[in-house]
Structure 1
């Protein structure tokens, strides 16, 4: 029986049983195994890993684990302070696009409200999500770690928070998105881009009071949903201000 000593760092411990968190522990194995497969067998999705050191030397996911080695596994929060680093995946695209699983509908709406290209449907299955993430280079957000372990998924993130208001702050911090917020650019319902539309062209679609009080409108180029600055706009503005305040208090 072969043995190695693992140590997972920082937030990677979220995926481990309590007895293995924040400590070095021995892992026993029988068969030849890549380090990627071994890390995932211990419960940590490869998308969460940013740097792997074996006996103080950086390796990539294809490395074959040998008996007696010491393995340190780092997330992005600690790996950025370590050099040299062997790249485990291509760099993230300069402009980020997202796809979310069925359980993150409110987070999807929040991301769209803030201007981020976010695909979401409540009937995507896991295979579709993995394929969309891979083919369109979208970061996959999920609370299903098994989904992140699919080999097709290159960019992914396990959302820790369960409260939607905490989730949006979490992902904005993790991907440094506060400076890229451009609210009211996308349709919350379908993710389409909004464009100005004349009041005259949509009069028959407006509530009576809205016709009297509002003159500026936008319409989704995909689903034709109409937006204007009513009471819902004030609530959205308050939400955006809360998000920006969270950045300042971080």
Structure 2
């Protein structure tokens, strides 16, 4: 490492982003007297979406602070629950988080999802245009400046992913109000309204139906309802909400 250095200590939650850091979370970085502290932190591998308070020699500073040689920096993780000001809480998920998207929609959380890989620039642009929190495991995507807001999804297991998002953002839950396929709002309908989507057994067995106001898909309490009900009950009860390893 050449040139003047600063000393950094990362919160335990952030160590997976900083493989060069010691188990204590401590490491060093060069400073050029021009680059911001936010740039330095990101250059070490940590998306700023995951960073909470930044302390320099014990005093809180912004990500725009330009560090001087010898300064000691403490990098804290983002606090839970995280508040996203200025817009209703809505999410955008990338192509790798389809199961999480469906479960958030099941809980009535406004969740957009791209089922194909449209590329990081397009995802970031949509996040900004629609003021949606970008959820992803792609660190490069979360470093894009045009994002409205973002969060790294730490786990690869859908149940832990859901728990983590609920714990971090505490969105309002309105189960059974959104289409899990397209995110549209559901409305109560009669059997006759959706008869063309029902097979014989379903038509004879069920009497209560809902339909998506956007895509027209019909819903009823079918074979998988108990499994879905269990997901809803766990979420509402707030159990298992921390999906971070």
TM-score, normalization: structure 1? 0.87
The residue number in structure 1 matching 2:173 is: 181
Which is bigger in relative contact order (C-alpha 8 A, separation at least 6)? 2
The residue number in structure 1 matching 2:25 is: 23
C-alpha distance 248-67 of structure 1, shift in aligned 2 (>3 A)? closer
The residue number in structure 1 matching 2:142 is: 148
C-alpha distance 219-91 of structure 1, shift in aligned 2 (>3 A)? closer
Question: 1: distance between equivalents of 2:221 and 2:115?
Answer: 28
Structure 2 residue 113 is the aligned partner of structure 1 residue 111: no
C-alpha distance 70-249 of structure 1, shift in aligned 2 (>3 A)? closer
Q: CA offsets, 1:214-238, max 9 Å, x none?
A: 1111111111100011212222112
Match of 2:89 among 76, 83, 96: 96
**Residue 114 of structure 1 contacts residue 184 of structure 1 at CA under 8 Å; is this kept in 2?**
yes
Equivalent residue runs for 1:125-136 within 5 Å: 125-136=119-130
The residue number in structure 2 matching 1:216 is: 208
**Residue 52 of structure 2 contacts residue 76 of structure 2 at CA under 8 Å; is this kept in 1?**
yes
The residue number in structure 2 matching 1:204 is: 196
The residue number in structure 2 matching 1:41 is: 43
**Residue 112 of structure 1 contacts residue 187 of structure 1 at CA under 8 Å; is this kept in 2?**
yes
Question: 2: distance between equivalents of 1:77 and 1:43?
Answer: 19
Match of 1:11 among 6, 10, 13: 13
Match of 1:137 among 131, 140, 143: 131
Q: Point out where structure 2 has 5 or more consecutive residues left out of the alignment.
A: none
The structure where helix makes up a greater share of residues is 1
Q: CA deviation at 1:31?
A: 5.9
TM-score, normalization: structure 2? 0.88
Count of aligned pairs between the two proteins:
239
Question: 2: distance between equivalents of 1:59 and 1:115?
Answer: 37
Q: 144-153 or 55-64: which moved more? A: 55-64
Q: Point out where structure 1 has 5 or more consecutive residues left out of the alignment.
A: 81-88
The residue number in structure 2 matching 1:237 is: 229
The ranges of structure 1 where at least 4 consecutive aligned residues each deviate by more than 3 angstroms after the TM superposition are 18-21, 89-95, 242-246
Tell me the SS of whatever aligns to 1:237: helix
Q: CA deviation at 1:18?
A: 5.4
**Residue 185 of structure 2 contacts residue 214 of structure 2 at CA under 8 Å; is this kept in 1?**
yes
**Residue 192 of structure 1 contacts residue 223 of structure 1 at CA under 8 Å; is this kept in 2?**
yes
Q: CA deviation at 1:19?
A: 3.6
Q: CA deviation at 1:249?
A: 8.6
Q: CA deviation at 1:67?
A: 1.4
